């Protein structure tokens, strides 16, 4: 094993300073962690649901008491603007609270049968691995962690190489809050080493993966060997469809946030803006000042709306699609000097362009004109992805028709919101498999068991 696999240097993406060094887990570490987790899980599952819920509420309280510290850590390790980072830490707290209630409501069914009583139980799976990406380290960790624990499982969290610090802090807070030792462990490390060891480990019952479609496919194939359960949250190339009958001013004012938030490193980013031709020029006229006024700079400043990209490698990836010198319809400002900065960029394009088809994961959107509703739906669906999308129209019937016609898991009308912890989230097609969040979140971490009890004498 070479030097860089032993530890990872964590770099502040806004300054390029090394802020921490974190040891990388080996396959042996993973094996030992799985054994500890399996032991802890047995007693955890045997607790009364109300006691599990109380533990999770105390964990949520500990996160709440350290919200600012967690948010500041996210500013430093991920370059997220402080306002966003506070929301992210709050989202982790909310997930724990919401899932705690789920532990008390993990109801089975009583199904009428002749000659006895038929009931169902939702049994925990055992040890669950959550492999998280760097774009929303805390929320995405919590989306897996909270419902998995609530349903009676143990959790091993493998954060992304670049962003392990908030995950490690969450694990320490869990212990301080009284969660049993071994029940929730964080294993920082390289994807192909620690991540892969979790995927291949026979003691891991389920893998919850969020990240690139390419790695998601590999993980799904590996899970097949042991018929291991898997949830995948993968990429997206989501459309923002603006019809001529929409409030075009509002649609243009809202568009920048939909692809610049988190510097475009968002699987739900509305990176394809489809605009009906009759209002195209007007929309572009309004979009330019809206993009240019999106505040870019020091993530620690509460006025900042957009920070840097996560890493030099990610900036190279974005540049490989759109060099900063490429012609653009709109280009914003970005700080020069240290930091992985990249300016907000709007391109005008065609549906088949590489920039309109592939996930760039940077602050780049492509605007494409369309003639009518049928063409808008055709372009929106001309992708292997199907995660999110927005529809701007004042016509209620059209809003419903287009919402039903667009093949994506999370749509919003006259809004760009798509993630609430109490509503389901997930993708169609190659954007993923399974759903997270919402009222059914715990079900994904259980097996349904059917039991028939004879009442014959």
Q: Which residues bind ligand NAD (CB under 6 A)?
A: 131-135, 158, 160-161, 191-192, 195-196, 199, 210-212, 215, 218-219, 233-235, 267, 317, 359, 361
Q: At closest approach, how far in Å is the CB of 11 from ligand NAD?
A: 14
Our CB check for ligand NAD shows the closer of 211 and 339 to be 211
Main-chain dihedrals φ then ψ at residue 67, nearest 5 degrees: -55, -45
Identity of the residue, 215 or 252, whose beta carbon is nearer to ligand NAD in the bound complex = 215
Nearer to ligand NAD, 210 or 393 (CB): 210
Q: Which residue is nearest to ligand NAD (CB)?
A: 191
C-alpha pair distances (Å), 215 with each of 186, 193, 210, 245: 20, 13, 9, 41
Q: Which is nearer to ligand NAD, 8 or 55 (CB)?
A: 8
Q: How far is the CB of 241 from ligand NAD (least distance, A)?
A: 21
Provide the minimum distance between the beta carbon of 57 and ligand NAD in the complex, in angstroms, as a whole number.
28
* CB of 181 vs ligand NAD, minimal distance in Å: 24
DSSP 296: B
Q: Which of 97, 233, 359, 436 is catalytic?
A: 233
Q: Nearer to ligand NAD by C-beta: 215 or 251?
A: 215
Q: Is the dihedral of CA 297, 303, 305, 310 positive or negative?
A: positive
Q: Are 209 and 360 in contact (CB under 8 A)?
A: no
The answer for residues whose C-beta is within 8 angstroms of residue 274's C-beta and 6 or more apart is 239, 240, 241, 242, 367, 368, 369, 370, 376, 379, 380
Q: Report in angstroms how near the CB of residue 141 gets to ligand NAD at its nearest.
A: 10
Is 176 known to be catalytic? no
DSSP 191: I
Contact between 112 and 190 under an 8 Å Cβ cutoff? The reply is no
- E strand spans, 39-146: 110-111, 116-124, 127-131
Q: Which ranges constitute the DSSP H helices of 151-203?
A: 165-176, 196-200
Contact 365, 331 (CB under 8 A): no
* Active-site amino acid positions: 233
């Amino acid at each position: 094993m070479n030097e860089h696999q032993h530890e990872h240097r964590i770099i502040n993406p806004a300054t390029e300073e090394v802020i921490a060094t974190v040891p990388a887990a080996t396959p042996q570490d993973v094996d030992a962690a799985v054994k500890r987790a399996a032991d802890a899980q047995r007693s955890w599952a045997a607790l009364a649901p109300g006691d599990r819920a109380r533990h999770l509420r105390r964990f949520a309280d500990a996160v709440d008491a350290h919200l600012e510290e967690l948010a500041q850590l996210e500013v430093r390790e991920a370059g997220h603007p402080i306002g966003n980072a506070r929301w992210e830490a709050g989202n982790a707290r909310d997930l724990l609270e919401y899932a705690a209630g789920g532990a008390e409501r993990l109801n089975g069914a009583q199904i009428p049968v002749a000659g006895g009583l038929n009931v169902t139980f939702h049994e925990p799976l055992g040890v669950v691995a959550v492999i998280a990406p760097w774009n929303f380290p805390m929320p995405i960790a919590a989306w897996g962690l909270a419902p998995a624990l609530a349903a009676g499982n143990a959790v091993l969290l493998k954060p992304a190489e670049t962003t392990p610090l908030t995950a490690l802090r969450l694990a320490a807070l869990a212990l301080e809050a009284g969660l049993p030792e071994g029940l929730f462990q964080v294993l920082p490390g390289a994807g192909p080493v620690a991540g892969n060891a979790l995927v291949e480990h026979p003691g891991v019952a389920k893998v919850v993966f969020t990240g690139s479609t390419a790695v998601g496919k590999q993980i799904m194939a590996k899970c097949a060997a042991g018929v291991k359960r898997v949830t995948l949250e993968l990429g997206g190339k989501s459309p923002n469809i603006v019809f001529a009958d929409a409030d075009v001013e509002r649609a243009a004012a809202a568009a920048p946030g939909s692809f610049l938030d988190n510097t475009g490193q968002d699987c739900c980013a509305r990176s394809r803006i489809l605009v009906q031709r009759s209002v195209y020029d007007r929309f572009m006229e309004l979009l330019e000042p809206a993009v240019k006024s999106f505040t870019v700079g020091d993530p620690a400043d509460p006025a900042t709306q957009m920070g840097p990209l996560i890493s030099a490698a990610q900036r190279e990836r974005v540049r490989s699609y759109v060099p900063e010198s490429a012609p653009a319809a709109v280009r914003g400002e970005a700080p020069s000097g240290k930091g992985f900065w990249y300016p907000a960029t709007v391109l005008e394009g065609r549906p088949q362009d590489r920039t309109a088809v592939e996930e760039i994961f940077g602050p780049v959107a492509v605007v494409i004109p369309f003639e009518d509703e049928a063409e808008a739906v055709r372009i929106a669906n001309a992708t292997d992805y199907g995660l999110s999308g927005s529809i701007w129209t004042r016509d209620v019937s059209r809003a419903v028709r287009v919402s039903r016609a667009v093949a994506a898991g999370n749509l919003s009308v006259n809004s760009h919101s798509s993630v609430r912890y109490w509503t389901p989230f997930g993708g169609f097609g190659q954007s993923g498999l399974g759903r997270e969040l919402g009222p059914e979140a715990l079900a994904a971490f259980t097996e349904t068991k059917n039991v028939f009890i004879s009442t014959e004498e």
